[in-house]
Structure 1
Amino acid sequence: MPMLETEKALQQSRQFGVKPIPLLRPLGWLARGWQDLLRCPGASLLHGLVMALVGGLILWLARDRFWLLAGAFSGFLLVAPILATGLYVISRDLEMGREPSLAHVIEAWRPRDGRLVVFGVLLAFAGIGWVTTSAALITGFAEAPINTPDQFLRHVVLNEDSHLFEAWLGLGALLAAPMFASTMIAVPLMLDSKVGEVSILGAVFTSWRVVMEYPAPVALWAALIMLLTLLGMASAMLGLIVVLPWLGHASWHAYRDLVKKAQ
């Protein structure tokens, strides 16, 4: 049965072609995402505000437990693609010449076939898994308790007698790279496809095909996402109010630029 499901997902993925793009195309996605943000600032910034408040809540809950906070923030980024679903809807409406509405955003979240809901749950489990792994690694191998950013910097990052920071980064990359490859195209593709046209696994396979065919532009896109997100966090989360919807809209244009329905 698993083999049959995999073959079916591969067939679904083959319905979609991958368009060629130049190396610097991700900069164009940012430009078009910014245009969408300016055209519909109210709903876009509302999404950003909600996600920034979630980030602020994480910061407050783990304010004196940096061993937990370090993993919690990166885990939050794992579920960000599904949280941006409403932003994809707004960009799609603008693309079609329709007035974006809250009703369209809510409609996208109704579990008619459950794909987005199930995928969101899977991403949440992945995020929880990384938070748990990160916390266990830091508390288990750090030479002193890690409760503040200063302690993390001194005992983990700058500790010349330990390779804990390298191990922490390596494990994070080991999880983040396949997660990014799986989600880059999958969520907007499921949102844009008809019910039954592509499954979660079929959408993930399509996302992986995009990454494997154009690794250099995708790597640049991942770096831009990380850089802008870190800048947003560095501004006491306030920058995320703008950065997250900007990246969400840009991700929709990345999907549009990369995926086409095969003839």
Structure 2
Amino acid sequence: MPNRTATRALNESRRFVVRTITPGQPLRWLVRGWADLWRAPVPGLLHGLVVALFGAVLLLLARDRFWLLAGAFSGFLLVAPLAATGLYAISRALARGEPATLATALRAWYPDDGRLVLFGVLLAFAGTGWVVTSAGLVTGFAPAPVTRPEDFLRQVVLADTGWLFEGWVVLGALLAAPVFASSVVAIPLLLDRRIGILAAVLTSWRAVMENPLPMALWAMLLMGLTLVAMVPALLGLVLAVPWLAHASWHAYVDLVAPPAGTERG
């Protein structure tokens, strides 16, 4: 039965053509995403503000427990694509020449099935797993308590001996890489088309495997720009979140062609 389910999902995924793109294509996604942000600024900036406020709450709750905060912020990067669902709908509406308002974004959160909700739960489990793993590593192996950012820098990143920082980075990458490959195309595809979760994930993996260098660059751009946006008291997230969300929609459009004889959903 599991093999039959997997075969059915793979056949469903193969209905969608995965395109080969050039290494420079991710930079074009950023340009298009920036344009979409300012064509419909209100929904995007509100999304960014909500994410920044969420980050501020994390800071407030864990200000004296940086061992937890480091995992929480890096774990957030795993589930952030789901938070952008409404903005994918905005970019789709703009491409269609339809009204792109806050109501357009909010409607994306009220689908007539539970696929996006279920996928969000799975991403939340992955993010929570990393938070717990990160906290366990830092509290269990750091030579001294890590309560402030400077403690993390001194006791973990710049420690003279041990493998803690290297292990923290490697384990984070081992979790982040498959989550990225599973979600980078899957979430906008689930919004845009009638497709099962496993088929959407397989399509996402096909897109990454077909374009390893451009997608590696895209992953680095997403992470790097998000981290830079966090530096000025998280205020940069107000712009970075919608910008990268709109750009991610254009990544999906360039990477995945709808089945022959159908229009994009």
Same fold (TM over 0.5): yes
Match of 2:79 in 1: 79
What per-residue deviation string (whole Å, max 9, x for no partner) do you get for residues 141-194 of structure 1?
111111011111111111121110000000000000000000100000010003
Mapping of 1:175-194 within 5 angstroms? 175-194=175-194
Residues of 2 paired with 1:78 and 1:157: CA distance? Answer: 22
Residues of 2 paired with 1:238 and 1:87: CA distance? Answer: 19
Contact 2:86-2:107 within 8 A present in 1 as well? no
Residues of 1 paired with 2:103 and 2:159: CA distance? Answer: 52
Contact 1:156-1:162 within 8 A present in 2 as well? no
Match of 1:261 in 2: 258
What TM-score, normalized by structure 1, do the two folds share?
0.97
Contact 2:184-2:204 within 8 A present in 1 as well? yes
Unaligned ranges ≥5, structure 2: 261-265
Relative to structure 1, the CA distance from residue 74 to residue 92 in structure 2 (aligned partners, 3 Å threshold; closer, same or farther) is same
Residues of 2 paired with 1:238 and 1:101: CA distance? Answer: 23
Match of 2:17 in 1: 17
Give the superposition deviation at 1:23: 0.5
Match of 2:225 in 1: 228
Residues of 1 paired with 2:161 and 2:43: CA distance? Answer: 49
Contact 2:12-2:199 within 8 A present in 1 as well? yes
Residues of 2 paired with 1:226 and 1:102: CA distance? Answer: 26
Residues of 2 paired with 1:101 and 1:199: CA distance? Answer: 28
Residues of 1 paired with 2:101 and 2:130: CA distance? Answer: 35
Aligned partner letter, 1:72: A
Please state if 1:209 is matched with 2:206: yes
Residues of 1 paired with 2:101 and 2:239: CA distance? Answer: 19
What TM-score, normalized by structure 2, do the two folds share?
0.96
Three-state SS of the structure 2 residue aligned to 1:109 is coil
How many pairs align?
260
Give the superposition deviation at 1:211: 0.4
Give the superposition deviation at 1:5: 1.4
What per-residue deviation string (whole Å, max 9, x for no partner) do you get for residues 89-114 of structure 1?
00000000011123322222124110
Aligned partner letter, 1:182: S
Match of 2:240 in 1: 243
Mapping of 1:1-263 within 5 angstroms? 1-194=1-194, 198-263=195-260
Structure 1 moving runs of 4+ over 4 Å:
none
RMSD: 0.9
Three-state SS of the structure 2 residue aligned to 1:160 is coil
Percent of pairs with identical residues: 62
Three-state SS of the structure 2 residue aligned to 1:144 is coil
Residues of 2 paired with 1:91 and 1:5: CA distance? Answer: 32
Aligned partner letter, 1:118: L
Residues of 1 paired with 2:258 and 2:97: CA distance? Answer: 21
Aligned partner letter, 1:256: V
